[in-house]
Amino acid sequence: MEFTASQIAGILEGEVEGNPEIAVHKLAKIEEGEKGSLTFLANPKYTQYIYSTEASITIVNKDFIPEQTLTTTLIKVQDAYKSFSKLLAYYNQVKFNKTGIEAPVFISESASYGADFYMGAFSYLGNNVAIGNNVKIFPNVYIGDNVSIADNVIVFAGAKIYSETIIGKGCVIHSGAILGADGFGFAPDADGEYSKIPQTGNVILEENVDIGAGTTIDRATLGSTILRKGVKLDNQIQIAHNVEIGMNTVIAAQTGIAGSTKIGKNCMIGGQVGIVGHLVIGDRVKIQAQSGISRNVKNDEVLQGSPALNYGDFNKSYVHFKNLPNIVNRISDLEKKAKSD
């Protein structure tokens, strides 16, 4: 795909300084720009590169005034960073704007789908699946019976969506993600063996939820495992049965959340965090990477450590922990001195 400077300026409501007909077909960092590429300058630390970049087009803020001769065509906008992000979104929209049904696929006679539907080869739609408009399903995707998918959803290659799952508008599900697998429910018998507890609930994603590659979200034992509007999950996260995650909460990779825990809205959870089951985590909570959460958490707490402490208390404690060998040696010296006296 090629775009001219004038076309890009039209998308971004910007002004061209240079050749309006110069075309680009790829994106690049400003320091790595080459002919035919588009880049941007938003951080002043990178200003030096605009004079040496070979990128054909550079997006800059309107107040940028060059101090040396430029070889790149400029597109001046109100906010270069936001404009470049907008362009990336537009690029993805064009890139993923596939339609039609490839072969071979399996589509149940009772399944339905809306306009501008795309289904990649070797994908499967089960009984009573209902799919909205402009949904893109890439190759090797499995969608089980009674699944509901709203408009403008993208399901990337190899994702597996079990029966009864409900997916809201604008969700993105990346490769290898699994939605609706059984929760980890087993009951011990008198002889020590474990019997499986049937998992009869489902998974619900509200609008604009992103699910990273290789992430697993278990169906509820009863009721629903729910991710509220705007939740963003990184890769390789485990969400157990009956968990509820509040609106606009973001969670980094390799975090595990045990069953029936409720997490509030606008939380930020770092990578490799472990959260035990049946807890209540408040709103706007921040949990640092590799923390272990074993208690309920109030609104606006910031936690670190395992078991987690208040962030400030953790840092103070860590200072003492680092000095612990010296403290032990000092105590030993004092004990030896006391014995000798």
| Residues noted as catalytic | 241
C-alpha dist (Å) from residue 284 to 171, 179, 277, 298? 22, 26, 19, 9
| Chain position carrying tokens 């009869």 | 200
CA atoms within 13 A on the CB side of 227: 33
Peptide bond into 325 cis (omega under 30): no
For the chain, give the number of residues.
Answer: 341
Q: Is 2 helix (H, G, I), strand (E, B) or coil?
A: coil
Contacts of 20 (CB under 8 A, 6+ apart): 4, 5, 6, 9, 73
Q: Residue 27 burial by CB count (10 A; 0-12/13-18/19+): exposed, middle or buried? A: middle
Is residue 46 within 8 Å of residue 30, measured between CB atoms?
yes
Local structure of residue 112 (DSSP, 8 states): B
Q: Is 90 helix (H, G, I), strand (E, B) or coil?
A: helix
Element (H, E) at 202: strand 202-205
Identity of residue 123: S
Element (H, E) at 92: helix 80-95
Distance CA 20, CA 300 (A): 50
Distance CA 293, CA 272 (A): 11
Q: How many helices (H) and strands (E) does the chain have?
A: 4, 39
DSSP assignment of 286-316 equals EE-TT-EE-S-B-TT-EEETTTTEEHHHHHH
